[in-house]
Amino acid sequence: MKKKLLITLVLILTLAGANAQTQKRGKTNKGTKPAQPQVLETPLPARCADCFFAVPLKVDIPFGPTEPPRGHGFVSEIGRDAKVKNVFEAEHNTVWYILTAPYSGKLCIEITPKAASDDYDFLVYKYTNKYFCNRIIGNKVTPIRSVLSTSNSEINGKTGLSLKGSLLNIPKSSAVSHAKYIDVVADEKYIIVVDNVADGGLGHTILATINTDYAPLTVLPIDSVNRARTTANILVKDKETDNVILEEVDAGAQKLKILPKKAYSISLKKDGYFNYIREVSHAQALKDSVLTARLVQIKPGSNLPIRGELYFDTDEQNNVSILPESYPALNDIVKLLQDYPSIVVEIIGRIPTEGYNVKKDAENSRLRAEAIKNYLIGRGIPETNLKARGSYLKEIEKQLASQKKLKTGGLINPSCEIKILKTK
């Protein structure tokens, strides 16, 4: 009986203590700031403490803050000798990175420790071939940059390569934190090894940038239905080399560097929407620094995106023909309808008008729509998937009303439309 009473008393006291702790945790003192959300660490890939498993870096995209590096991996590749002195005495807590230069310019690197007291040293090598990592062992390769100086708490322990740097190799005895930038050429590869000298340190963030002349361009995905920002899979390629410049999944606005004498293909994909494809040159990016990528939802009522202008010619017999300048835009429509064979569309002819004979204008707009329809049929699109009509009189009257409000007094030149009627 006494044993049962004792167990009951212990249970009551345990529950009371737990309840008190719960109340204490739930109690908020006035004036106390809520806890700030912790910055999540970027996990370091397996074996990245060895050269063969270097982490790929991308220009302009920070990597980190990392979890703390621990040890030198399975192989300690670096050790100082009489021939090569501008390296670590030995590896301590290392992470290896590899960077491919997407374009030519001045390579800068910024390494920012999570703790200003952590002493990060680093080396930069120019990658040669698949035997490169083997050649590092035994100091058969010399780094082209090395910074071994002690951490400077006044700049929060930052180190790297900068435009203002003048030294190629900075020894331990120096107080200089940044070495000179590297002149790089497109497609060259560089190996960067970062070493935290002390055990028990924290992680870091590394950012590589290449300084060169460029036009800034922001790719902004917009949902054309609600006219709001959205996300998409974004792929940017160099038109000449077909190299991937940027590839992001389910991403929002992305900033690009458009280089002189270069052209880029930009494509956006999103489930339930038509693919968006655009080519951008340096001159275009200089003119407009924001590319508003309007993503059109695949549903009845949506207009197919027409990428370009449509031009028509009307002869004395009132026969309407499509001018060759329109073919690229219409061929894009052909490709779109081939990709989505279940779509039935309505082609709506539009035409500029002065309002003298709106019935004739309506008829001419119908002839434009028929000309587009016949072009699409001639390129293999089934006639059953295509309807055509001209502008209604009310639509032309609305166009005239808008035209009168123009301060310039000119004509509105509306674009023909291709609207989704239904899906089979």
User: How far, in whole angstroms, is CA 382 from its chain's centroid?
Assistant: 38
- 259 and 196 share one domain: no
Question: Which of 241, 261, 295 corresponds to the end of one domain?
Answer: 295
Q: Judge if 68 and 97 occupy the same domain.
A: yes
- 70 pLDDT above the threshold of 60: yes
Contact partners, residue 382, CB within 8 Å, separation at least 6: 341
Considering the domain boundaries, does residue 301 fall inside one?
Answer: no
> How far apart (Å, rounded) are the C-alpha atoms in residues 240 and 276?
20
Residues 224 and 101 placed together within one structural domain of the fold: no
Backbone angles phi, psi at 133, to 5 degrees: -65, -35
- For the entire predicted model, the pTM comes to 0.66
Residues 232 and 111 in one domain: no
Report CA-CA distances (Å) from 132 to 14, 191, 297, 352: 63, 10, 49, 66
**Burial category of 175 from C-beta neighbours within 10 Å (exposed 0-12, middle 13-18, buried 19 and up):** exposed
Q: Which of 17-21, 146-150, 216-220, 252-256 has the lowest mean pLDDT?
A: 17-21
Q: Are residues 224 and 203 in the same domain?
A: no
Phi and psi, residue 327, nearest 5°: -60, -45
Looking only at the bridges linking them, the beta strands covering 215-223 and 254-258 are antiparallel
Long-range contacts of 286-290 (CB under 8 A, 24+ apart): 286/215, 289/215, 289/216, 289/217, 289/218, 290/217, 290/218, 290/220
Reported as a pLDDT band with limits 50, 70 and 90, residue 1 is very low
**Cα(150)–Cα(157) distance, rounded to whole angstroms?**
9
Answer yes or no: do 201 and 227 share one domain: no
| Cα 65 from Cα 284, distance rounded (Å) | 36
Note the pLDDT tens digit of each residue in 314-335. 888 888 999 999 999 999 999 9
pLDDT of residue 411: 84
Beta bridge pairs of residue 313: 321
**Sequence-ordered list of residues with C-beta below 8 angstroms from that of 50, at least 6 positions apart, any chain:** 73, 74, 75, 77, 96, 133
The tokens for 64 are 């980190």
DSSP letter string, 319-379: -EEE-GGGHHHHHHHHHHHHH-TTEEEEEE------SS-HHHHHHHHHHHHHHHHHHHHHT
Contact status, residue 176 vs residue 161, Cβ threshold 8 Å: no
Residues 270 and 393 occupy one common structural domain: no
Does residue 331 sit in the same domain as residue 275?
Answer: no
Task: Collapse the DSSP code of 292 into the 3-class scheme (helix H, G, I; strand E, B; otherwise coil) and give the result.
Answer: strand
In this prediction, residues 51-63 reach a mean pLDDT of 94
**pLDDT greater at residue 300 or residue 225:** 300
20 confidence band (pLDDT: 50, 70, 90):
very low
CA distance 20 to 25: 9
Q: Report residue 377: phi and psi, to 5°.
A: -65, -40
- The CATH number of whichever domain residue 232 belongs to comes to 2.60.40.1120
CATH classification of the domain holding 406: 3.30.1330.60
The mean of the pLDDT values for the chain is 88
Question: Are 69 and 170 in the same domain?
Answer: yes
User: How many Å from the N-terminal Cα to the C-terminal Cα in the chain?
Assistant: 80
Domain count of the fold of the chain:
3
pLDDT digits (tens, 9 = 90+) for 231-288: 999 999 999 889 888 999 999 999 999 999 889 999 999 998 989 989 999 999 999 9
pLDDT at position 38: 60
Q: Residue 254: helix, strand or coil by DSSP?
A: strand
- CA–CA distance, 43 with 51 (Å, rounded to integer): 17
Range of the domain at 174: 51-211
